[in-house]
Amino acid sequence: MANKYYYGNGYNSENSIAIIWSIEDVKQQLDEWFPQLKYTEDDCMEVLYSMKINHDANYGITWETIHANIENHWYDELKKLKEEDDG
């Protein structure tokens, strides 16, 4: 192994793996599925923290997980936008 990566708490690339989801992943979903929403990097981190806090190892984290957490984070705004479109 060329480089040894340190993940913290005694975990590193020689004794564990780390799957990384980033702000860029959240932005990609926002731009693709919710272009009407305005967001900041802090918003994106809140989505990532929500995914971490609510993580279920039986299901993992997928694009659908990000999508659902975006919908939860912007629930009120998305509801209002839908009402305006239906209205």
| pLDDT confidence of residue 85 | 85
Residue 12 placed within a domain: no
Residue 14 has pLDDT above 80, yes or no: yes
Residue 41 placed within a domain: yes
| pLDDT confidence of residue 1 | 57
pLDDT in tens, 26-84: 999 999 999 999 999 999 999 999 999 999 999 999 999 999 999 999 999 999 988 88
Domain that holds residue 62: 21-86
Distance CA 75, CA 62 (A): 20
Which sign does the torsion angle of CA 69, 72, 73, 79 carry?
positive
Residue 36 placed within a domain: yes
Distance CA 42, CA 23 (A): 9
Count the domains in the chain.
1
Q: What is the pTM of this model?
A: 0.84
Residue 16 placed within a domain: no
Residue 2 has pLDDT above 90, yes or no: no
Paired residues of 6 in beta bridges: 12
